[in-house]
Structure 1
């Protein structure tokens, strides 16, 4: 495996791109929204296929770019099961394994900074020397990257659980000093002393440490009892992270915005020809969760499988592959979705296919609404979706398979 360590100076955050030299399959860990283009350029420069976009926890100091990376590269989203990242296709638990090419990371559940925080452990496999391509050293890399071809056998990516000479705070977002002490001393410090520690942050331009060094010298925890550590953490009196109120809700949606605001709102549909009317994604979500109408996804099976879906939505594809032919079972599937006589709200990719689908539903005697912007929204000036409108842009619940 080869790891590239990248730094965001605004949040003092490290992002890691890990890849298998043979297959070029890659994983990105803790990406930062403001560094999206940098990370895409790195993936392209190293000729990688991004397989996973992964989080160590739901961050409070920056917003992730995981969902945008998934959309633009085909990567799958993975996040700790206890962090409420509902958009992640894979909810990670202790002992789970993420594979990319011949390489894999093992999940270590390390609660404390947050209840769901995890670290990732990697151990080098025995490979023939000729399997490590020497041409990597000739790649035109930027100054912020360096391929690490050293033969260190063990590595752990610790997120905010264990830092160099420090650890994550425990005074907000389900934090627990008691749990953090146990996670560090019983899980991370149980790793071999020569394990390389790759932290999620550093504020003093340090890049790595080892388990043995942190055991011996980390002022937060070295030589301290559990009670002493808990008392120390209680006395830190740190300021509230500046971006926590926007960052945590956005990160629980893999970076695609905060949840729709609560409170009284105008859910009145816009009149339309041939069906009951057009409604916003936010109104559709409120009607769905309030039991006022049934949300029906009219996209193809492939779109739901590879792009994402709305939990709780019913399915009645308007068209299907191959050839995007009209679905002969649409009428039956739609009637089944509306079996209890409720109105239906139809969701497609950008609010185009759902219009004729809503008109057909009306012909069948149903009260039908079109959801404006669809799931991904209309393309912007750069032909990219999810930046202007639509379900995901609004930060409403969705999932990947």
Structure 2
């Protein structure tokens, strides 16, 4: 496995690069905008293809690189379903998998630092965002933070995992790079409490100043998506117009992943080509007998990128559904369970 822990000195943010092999698919966790070129250079040097980038929550101390990386690489953006960000390619909930070739993360909903905070774990390590820091925990006094919910996320969730699990946080201000759950249970002063009430009292007395970047970072981080205006910069067919079309006269392609299809259902008579496999299937999709290809995903971000990719590869009669499956639902489109 390729694993890199990268650091931004200004915001004390750790970004994690993961891939199963050289030449394979890669994932980035909590990237920082100012480091975008560094990430892309490293991908090139390691012969990796960035396919997914995720943020553990809406950050207040730096601007995320999610949007910039999506625009440069056409990767999928991932956040928790509670995130207030305008458009995210793929939203996950507690227990969902975030997969790339040869590697999988499991999402854990861990509210408290913010109401959209997630941790992501494997069998031997956990990426804790700001929920659990090395010898600390994330503050709970803004962005709908809640000390009681953080206590529950920690003591009834994260700390129930094996003590040998490696802890990789989103920040460190002392120079530490990694810990274990066992170390944190034994030595983290925030965890040496006897009750939920005591933890709440400890957190409520911190009286910390707001992050210097908060007034800039939070608004910027909430509008990183391909909104409807940008989605309509490529050929489209609106969800309402799709209702009246005869499906056998077009090829309707669902770009979402299995977990999304299983949870929400599909548009009847659509075929499944996950976005990550689209490039391999373009030659097949080009054999359409003149029928237009129409892409859809969850909210239109992946399908807009797919339309650009298809046009660049000679598939002229293609479009996508802006707003994606959500737009289809909003106009009362039929849904088939998977």
Q: Identify whether the pair has TM-score above 0.5, normalized to the shorter chain.
A: yes
Q: Distance in 2 between matches of 1:118 and 1:9?
A: 23
Equivalent residue number for residue 84 of structure 1: 84
Equivalent residue number for residue 219 of structure 2: 249
User: What secondary structure sits across from 2:106 in the alignment?
Assistant: strand
Q: Distance in 1 between matches of 2:8 and 2:22?
A: 28
Check the 8 A contact 1:33/1:255 in 2, yes or no: no
- Any residues of structure 2 matched to 1:225-304 within 5 Å, and which? 225-254=195-224, 299=235
* Residue 325 (structure 1) shift: 5.8
Equivalent residue number for residue 55 of structure 1: 55
Equivalent residue number for residue 148 of structure 2: 178
Check the 8 A contact 1:22/1:101 in 2, yes or no: no
* Residue 253 (structure 1) shift: 2.3
Change (3 A) 1:296 1:216: closer
Q: Number of aligned residue pairs: give it.
A: 257
- Any residues of structure 2 matched to 1:197-208 within 5 Å, and which? 197-208=167-178
Question: Is 1:156 the counterpart of 2:126 in the alignment?
Answer: yes
Change (3 A) 1:105 1:323: closer
Q: TM-score, normalised by structure 1?
A: 0.59
Q: Distance in 1 between matches of 2:223 and 2:28?
A: 17
1:187 counterpart (143, 147, 157):
157
Large movers: runs of 4+ above 3 Å: 295-298, 300-306, 320-327
Change (3 A) 1:190 1:324: closer
Q: Distance in 2 between matches of 1:69 and 1:321?
A: 19
Equivalent residue number for residue 263 of structure 1: none
* Residue 225 (structure 1) shift: 1.6
1:215 counterpart (185, 191, 200):
185
Q: Distance in 2 between matches of 1:322 and 1:14?
A: 37
User: What secondary structure sits across from 2:154 in the alignment?
Assistant: helix
**C-alpha RMSD over aligned residues:** 3.1
Equivalent residue number for residue 43 of structure 2: 43
* Residue 115 (structure 1) shift: 0.9
Check the 8 A contact 1:214/1:222 in 2, yes or no: no
Q: Distance in 2 between matches of 1:324 and 1:50?
A: 24
Equivalent residue number for residue 17 of structure 1: 17
Q: Distance in 2 between matches of 1:100 and 1:190?
A: 26
Query: Which of structures 1 and 2 has the bigger CA Rg?
Result: 1
* Residue 102 (structure 1) shift: 1.5
Check the 8 A contact 2:193/2:199 in 1, yes or no: no
Check the 8 A contact 2:86/2:225 in 1, yes or no: no
Check the 8 A contact 1:65/1:255 in 2, yes or no: no
Q: Distance in 2 between matches of 1:322 and 1:309?
A: 20
Q: TM-score, normalised by structure 2?
A: 0.69
Change (3 A) 1:303 1:37: farther
Check the 8 A contact 1:58/1:248 in 2, yes or no: yes
Structure 2: tracts of 5 or more residues without a match = 238-292, 302-310, 319-338
Check the 8 A contact 2:129/2:170 in 1, yes or no: yes
* Residue 74 (structure 1) shift: 2.3
Q: Distance in 2 between matches of 1:323 and 1:36?
A: 30
Check the 8 A contact 2:88/2:225 in 1, yes or no: no
* Residue 41 (structure 1) shift: 1.0
User: What secondary structure sits across from 1:220 in the alignment?
Assistant: helix
Structure 1: tracts of 5 or more residues without a match = 124-153, 260-280, 286-294, 311-319, 328-401
Partner deviation per Cα, 1:32-83 (whole Å, 9 max, x = no partner): 0011111111111111111101010000110001111112122101011112
Q: Distance in 2 between matches of 1:325 and 1:195?
A: 50
Change (3 A) 1:326 1:93: closer
Equivalent residue number for residue 395 of structure 1: none
